[in-house]
Amino acid sequence: MHSSDRDRVVLAALVFAVLFSQVLLYPGVATLVETLGADAGTSAFAATALDASMWFLVAEFAAYVAFVGVWGVASDVTGRRRSFIVAGALTGAVGYAALAAVPTIGAVPFEGVLLLRVFQGAMTIGAFSLTMTMLMDLEGGHGRNMGAAGIAIGLGAALGAPAGGQLTELSPIAPLVVAASLLVCVGALVSLVGDRTPDDRRTARALVEGVRGRPTVLVPYAFGFVDRLTAGFFALVGTLYFQDTFGIGAGTTGLLLACFFGPFALLQYPMGALSDRIGRTVPIVVGSVCYGVGILAVGAVPSVPTAAVAMVGVGVLGALVAPATMALVTDLADESERGTAMAGFNLAGSVGFLGGFLLGGIVAGSYGYELAFIVVGGLEIAIAVVTVPIFLRLSVGRTDRFQTGDHGDA
C-alpha cells in the first residue's frame, strides 16, 4: 500500500473516532441533560427538555465557532498538525470525562455543565478540523481525500447514533465515558501519520488575508453552512420529532438516524471520486435541490417504516453533495492556507449546526415540527438556486482546475 493510501485510511479512522464520540450523545441527549442537572427550577437554560437539550448542543458548537479558526491558523503558521491534534484530542477527552463526573460531584449547576461543554468543544474541534486538514495535504485527488473524510464523518454518525442510543439505555453517562476513551486513542494514534504540511510559512495575518482574498471560497462555505444546518436540525429536532410523533425510544431513534447516516457514509468515497471526474457543479447544485426535497419528505411521512425509507433517500443525496463541497474548498485554497481554509469551512459548518439547533428548536417549539421541516428543507433548495449563476460564471464543472487530483496540477 502506498504511504498516502495508508495515511488516508488512518486519518479517516481518526475523523471517524472524533465524530463517533460526538454523535454518541445525540439520541439520548434529553436523558443526559436531566442526569447532568438540567432543572427548570434552577436554570433559565432548562425551562423544558427541548431547551436544555438545545443549549447543551449549542454550547459545544459555539465553542467550535470560536476556536476552529485559532487551531487552523496556528497549524499553518507553525507548520505542524500532529502536535495540535494530540493536544486537542487529549484535552477534549478531559472535557468529556469532567462531564461524566458531574452526577458524582452533585453540586454543579447546569450553567457550569454548559461551561464544561464549551471547554470540551473548544478542544475537540482542533482534533477534528486539523485531521481533515491532514487529509487535504495528501496526494491522490481532492475528491478522493475529502470522500475519505466524508465516509469517516458519515460512518461516525451512522454508527454513533445507534450505539449512543444503546449506551444511553445502559447508563446516561456511558456515552461520555466512551467518548473520552476514544479521544485518548485519537491522540495516541495520530503519531502513525507523517506530517505533510507545506514548507511555505506565512504570518497569521497573511494567512487570513490570503483566504479573504479568494472570495470564491465562500461558495463551498455557504453550502457547508446549510448542509450542517440540516444535520444539526436532524440531531436535535429530528430526534425529538421522531420520538414525539411515533412514540419511540432512544434506541429506535438511533436506528432511524442511522438510516440517513448509513448511505451517507458508505457512498461518500465513490461520490467524491465521481466529482473528480465530472466536476463539482452537478453534485453540489443538483444534489442540494434534491436533498432539500428529501428533507421535506421526511417531515411528511406517516409512519416509522416510511420515515426510515425517506431517511435513506436523504442520506444518498447528502453523500452526493458533501464530498464535492469539501473538495471544492481544497480546489480553491492555496496549499499553504489549507489549515485556515478548512478551519473556515468548519467554522461555517459549526455556525450551520448552531443554526440547525436554534432555528429548528425555535421554529418547532413555536410553530410545530411541520413548519420547521419546511423552513430547513427550503433553505437547502434556496442556496442551490441562488448559487447557480456563480457556478455558471466560474464554470466549475468544466474547468480543469476543479477536476484535477492535486492543486499543483491545476
pTM of the model as a whole: 0.73
Q: State phi, psi for 173 to the nearest 5 degrees.
A: -95, -5
Residue 267: predicted pLDDT: 86
Q: Which residue has the cell 406517516?
A: 302
* Sequence-ordered alpha helix ranges (H) in 247-301: 250-266, 268-278, 281, 287-298
Distance of CA 164 to the CA centre of its chain: 17
pLDDT per position in the chain (410 positions), as tens?
556 778 888 999 999 999 999 989 988 888 999 898 888 778 888 888 878 888 898 899 889 888 988 888 888 888 888 899 999 999 999 999 999 999 988 778 889 999 999 999 999 999 998 998 888 878 766 677 888 887 888 788 778 878 998 899 899 999 999 999 999 999 999 988 877 666 555 555 655 565 566 667 788 888 888 888 887 788 778 888 888 888 888 778 878 887 887 788 788 888 888 888 887 878 888 889 999 999 999 988 889 899 999 999 998 998 888 888 888 887 777 766 777 777 788 788 778 877 887 888 888 888 888 899 999 999 889 988 888 777 766 654 444 444 444 444 33
Grid coordinates given for 55: 443549549
Residue 302 DSSP code: -
Do the Cβ atoms of 271 and 148 come closer than 8 Å? no
Residue 144: predicted pLDDT: 76
Write down the domain spans for the chain: 3-409
Grid coordinates given for 39: 432543572
Grid coordinates given for 190: 495520530
Residue 209: predicted pLDDT: 64
Nearest to 68 by CA among 224, 292, 271: 224
Residue 399: predicted pLDDT: 43
Its CATH architecture, for the domain 3-409, is Up-down Bundle (1.20)
Rounded alpha-carbon distances, angstroms, from residue 75 to 81, 118, 222, 272, 347: 6, 21, 24, 26, 15
- Cα separation, 374 vs 372, in Å, equals 5
Residue 281: predicted pLDDT: 79
Distance of CA 216 to the CA centre of its chain: 22
CB within 8 Å of 46: residues ≥ 6 apart: 33, 38, 39, 40, 52, 55, 110
Do the Cβ atoms of 79 and 207 come closer than 8 Å? no
Residue 312: predicted pLDDT: 92
Residue 89: predicted pLDDT: 96
Residues in the chain: 410
DSSP per-residue letters across 50-102: HHHHHHHHHHHHHHHHHHHHHHHHHHHHHT-SHHHHHHHHHHHHHHHHHHHHH
Residue 348: predicted pLDDT: 84
Residue 236: predicted pLDDT: 78
Distance of CA 234 to the CA centre of its chain: 12
Residue 170: predicted pLDDT: 92
User: How many CB atoms are closer than 10 A to CB 119?
Assistant: 18
- Cα separation, 60 vs 181, in Å, equals 18
